[in-house]
């Protein structure tokens, strides 16, 4: 029997990879100052970003990579103002207003840390964690361990199958590396991992999405990888963990496998576990202010040793070992061929594997199975390209493209025999052959070992373009429009190779049709060989328009609309008898046009006191499907 599943559609386009700074420059009497030269410099920025204030004194510095900046304001006849340590945050539009005073030639004022620069224009709820804060927070080795500091984000493995945002299931989340979607197509968890040494910033967005975002009903996790710079920097690391550094095993209350009416506390023998991680990274420049690079290679190796105890055959007790390996590598090139054109190209690899499986600690595994033969490989990688072109002080154009690919495959074929599993024990049951006497939960080999994984490839292509235009009309407008294409591909061949038998010893059989059927020994259930064998793909197109309208300094209204077009192909084999008898089943079984999926957005951000200490924001997301 072959079962099939749909490709789950979850898309959030146009991920932020930079921030913005804007504001108004005035003289002491409150009149706007046109013609003020504004420049921004940072170790995160190639060269410098520049702007000139317009007739209303407004300036905008667009697409600034996250980091700390020095902002300079200069105009003949006024004291130059230098604002240091201005933190640009991923996806934020920050406001920095300046008052300039007349002064003698070459006079300047340096300001450090005066009045926090905040974003009062966004209605979305966003948390940004920079690399400067990684070591100040409790975390593990992978980026996902830090996202739980955001309110409403919890690990809900049992009920919601992973990370939950405000009660949503893990399948409703989206994960991005440098703007490329790396979310697992079917289950929605992070399709690829990344250690903190390769991460520059983590952005967690959990509500209030503008029209440029679509598909996610949970949270959006956006990862920006590290870049090079005009100075060389690097580090070597050694990370080690061991079971010798942990406490002993705790007792577990377990049912007696030979008499499930009894329970007792059992303390398992402790596994020996060790992990070694040795790696390095290096960043710098090939051409100053023109071509930067960052690269890293951080592999790790894990070993787990277990004393296998077999209740049915204690003479087979032995030592078993499982090894795991992960090769994580990152490469990023940032180049600026023109003063108005900045591009980056990144590649992130996350290959892992395991060799050998382990018998269960409860002693109910089969000692005759060769646990050393098991193993799987998990190659995964992401590549992305991003280009920003500042056409004018009012117009910004962004182009993105990327590719994600993951796979799972076994290194050996499944065992040649069916799998047997005892739901109940048959110990002390008369008439049962000695070689079939086992306790409850006994099994002939591990569950996963019976599955044949020839391949489980998930791949995604993505390309998009958007433009942002700034204008003044009854306030300040940031008009944005964009178009995106995404293709999801799945090529799967994994199946249960043999029957799985579940034995219910010592109980009668009961069913709605037959009622209660007395048995002498019990009964068994058989699961026929089954699996997923298919290779479909689906395309999705979307476009959106939105406006962030700052009506006055304290109030910003965010309005927009997006439309999507998508189709999901038939899973029916064109050569099959089913296709011949029902040719209509070869048509796309899900199909939406642009007029079928329209999502208007409305949100606002209000700085109640005018100090950014107390803010109110709200957003409404609505999807209309005909």
Residue with tokens 């499930």, as numbered in its chain: 260
Domains of the chain: 19-112 (2.60.40.1120), 123-226 (2.170.130.10), 540-626 (no CATH)
Q: What does the pLDDT read at residue 303? A: 97
Beta bridge partners, 338, equal 341
Q: Please say if the pLDDT value at position 6 is more than 50.
A: no
**Banded pLDDT at 258 (limits 50, 70, 90):** confident
**Banded pLDDT at 2 (limits 50, 70, 90):** very low
Distance (Å, whole) CA 272 – CA 323: 12
Query: What 3-state DSSP class applies to 373?
Result: helix
What is the CB neighbour count within 10 angstroms for residue 479? 17
Longest distance between any two alpha carbons in the chain, whole Å: 108
Mean pLDDT, the chain, integer: 85
Distance (Å, whole) CA 64 – CA 72: 15
Query: What 3-state DSSP class applies to 450?
Result: helix
Query: What 3-state DSSP class applies to 5?
Result: coil
Q: What does the pLDDT read at residue 597? A: 85
**Banded pLDDT at 123 (limits 50, 70, 90):** low
Provide φ and ψ at 66, rounded to 5°. Answer: -60, 140
Q: Please say if the pLDDT value at position 296 is more than 90.
A: yes
Beta bridge partners, 87, equal 68
pLDDT 10s digits, 586-622 = 888 788 888 888 888 888 877 776 655 445 544 444 4
**Banded pLDDT at 12 (limits 50, 70, 90):** very low
pLDDT 10s digits, 299-317 = 999 999 999 999 888 888 8
Distance (Å, whole) CA 518 – CA 556: 73
Give pTM, 2 decimals. Answer: 0.82
pLDDT 10s digits, 23-58 = 889 998 888 899 999 999 998 888 888 888 988 888
Provide φ and ψ at 581, rounded to 5°. Answer: -80, -30
pLDDT 10s digits, 355-393 = 999 999 988 899 989 999 999 999 999 999 999 998 888
Distance (Å, whole) CA 174 – CA 252: 37
289 close to 303: Cβ distance less than 8 angstroms: no
Cα–Cα nearest to 611, from 117, 30, 99, 85: 117
Residue 384, CB-side half-sphere exposure with 13 Å CA sphere: 27
**Banded pLDDT at 112 (limits 50, 70, 90):** low
Query: What 3-state DSSP class applies to 386?
Result: strand
Cα–Cα nearest to 345, from 228, 222, 459, 486: 228
Percent of the chain clearing pLDDT 90 (strictly above): 39
**Banded pLDDT at 1 (limits 50, 70, 90):** very low
pLDDT 10s digits, 452-495 = 889 999 999 999 999 999 888 888 898 999 999 999 998 999 88
Q: For the chain, what is the total number of helices (H) and then of strands (E)? A: 3, 40
Q: What angle do CA 557, 561, 566 make, to 5 degrees?
A: 155
Cα–Cα nearest to 374, from 319, 411, 407, 409: 411
Q: What does the pLDDT read at residue 484? A: 93
Q: Please say if the pLDDT value at position 498 is more than 60.
A: yes
Across 117-126, 399-408, 533-542, the highest mean pLDDT is recorded for 399-408
**Banded pLDDT at 5 (limits 50, 70, 90):** very low
Cα–Cα nearest to 592, from 623, 617, 549: 623
Q: What does the pLDDT read at residue 173? A: 84
Q: Which of residues 90 and 455 earns the better pLDDT score? A: 455
Distance (Å, whole) CA 285 – CA 288: 6
Instruction: Give the residue-averaged pLDDT of 261-266.
Output: 88
Provide φ and ψ at 588, rounded to 5°. Answer: -55, 130
């Amino acid at each position: 029997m072959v079962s099939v599943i749909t490709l789950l559609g979850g898309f959030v386009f146009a991920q932020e990879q930079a921030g913005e700074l804007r504001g108004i420059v005035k003289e002491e009497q409150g009149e706007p100052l046109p013609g003020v030269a504004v420049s921004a410099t940072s170790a995160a920025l190639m060269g410098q970003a520049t702007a000139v204030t317009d007739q209303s004194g407004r300036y905008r510095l667009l697409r600034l990579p996250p980091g700390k900046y020095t902002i300079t304001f200069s105009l003949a006849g006024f004291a130059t103002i230098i604002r240091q340590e201005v933190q640009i945050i991923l996806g934020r539009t920050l406001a920095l207003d300046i008052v300039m005073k007349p002064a003698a030639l070459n006079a300047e004022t340096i300001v450090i840390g005066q009045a926090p620069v905040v974003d009062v224009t966004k209605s979305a709820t966003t948390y940004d964690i920079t690399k400067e804060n990684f070591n100040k927070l409790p975390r593990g080795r992978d980026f996902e361990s830090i996202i739980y500091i955001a309110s409403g984000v919890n690990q809900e493995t049992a009920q919601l199958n992973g990370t939950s945002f405000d009660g949503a299931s893990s399948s409703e989340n989206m994960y991005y590396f440098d703007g490329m979607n790396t979310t697992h197509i079917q289950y929605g968890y992070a399709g690829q991992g990344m250690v903190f040494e390769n991460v520059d910033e983590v952005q967690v967005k959990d509500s209030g999405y503008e029209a440029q975002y679509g598909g996610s009903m949970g949270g959006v996790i956006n990862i920006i990888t590290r870049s090079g710079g005009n100075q060389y920097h690097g580090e070597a690391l050694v990370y080690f963990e061991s079971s010798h550094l942990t406490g002993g095993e705790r007792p577990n209350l377990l049912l007696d496998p030979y008499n499930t009416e009894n329970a007792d506390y059992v303390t398992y023998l402790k596994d020996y576990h060790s992990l070694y991680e040795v790696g390095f990274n290096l960043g710098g420049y090939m051409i100053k202010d023109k071509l930067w690079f960052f690269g890293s290679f951080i592999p790790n190796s894990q070993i787990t040793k277990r004393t296998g105890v077999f209740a049915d055959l204690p003479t087979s007790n032995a030592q078993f070992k499982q090894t795991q390996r992960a090769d994580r590598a990152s490469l990023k090139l940032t180049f600026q061929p023109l003063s108005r054109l900045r591009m980056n190209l990144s590649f992130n690899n996350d290959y892992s594997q395991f060799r050998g499986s382990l018998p269960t600690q409860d002693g109910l595994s089969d000692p005759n199975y060769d646990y050393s033969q098991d193993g799987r490989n998990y190659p995964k990688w992401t590549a992305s390209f991003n280009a920003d072109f500042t056409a004018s002080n009012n117009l910004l154009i962004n182009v993105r493209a990327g590719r994600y690919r993951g796979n799972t495959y076994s290194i050996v074929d499944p065992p040649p025999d069916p799998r047997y599993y005892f739901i109940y024990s048959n110990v002390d049951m008369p008439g049962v052959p000695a070689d079939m006497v086992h306790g409850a939960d006994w099994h002939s080999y591990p569950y996963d070992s019976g599955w044949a994984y020839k391949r489980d490839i998930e791949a995604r292509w993505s390309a998009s373009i958007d433009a942002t235009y700034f204008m003044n009309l009854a306030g300040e407008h940031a008009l944005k429009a964009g178009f995106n294409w995404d293709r999801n591909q799945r090529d799967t061949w994994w199946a249960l190779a043999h029957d799985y038998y579940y034995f219910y010893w010592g109980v009668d059989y009961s069913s709605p049709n037959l009622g209660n059927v007395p048995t002498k020994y019990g009964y068994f259930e058989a699961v026929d060989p089954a699996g997923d064998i298919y290779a479909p793909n689906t395309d999705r197109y979307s476009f959106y328009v939105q406006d962030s309208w700052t009506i006055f300094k304290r109030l910003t209204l965010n309005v927009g609309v997006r439309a999507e077009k998508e189709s999901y192909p038939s899973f029916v084999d064109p050569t099959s008898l089913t296709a011949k008898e029902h040719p209509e089943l070869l048509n796309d079984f899900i199909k939406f046009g642009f007029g079928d999926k329209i999502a208007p957005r409305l949100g606002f951000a209000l700085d109640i006191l005018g100090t950014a200490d107390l803010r109110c924001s709200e957003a409404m997301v609505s999807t209309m499907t005909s």
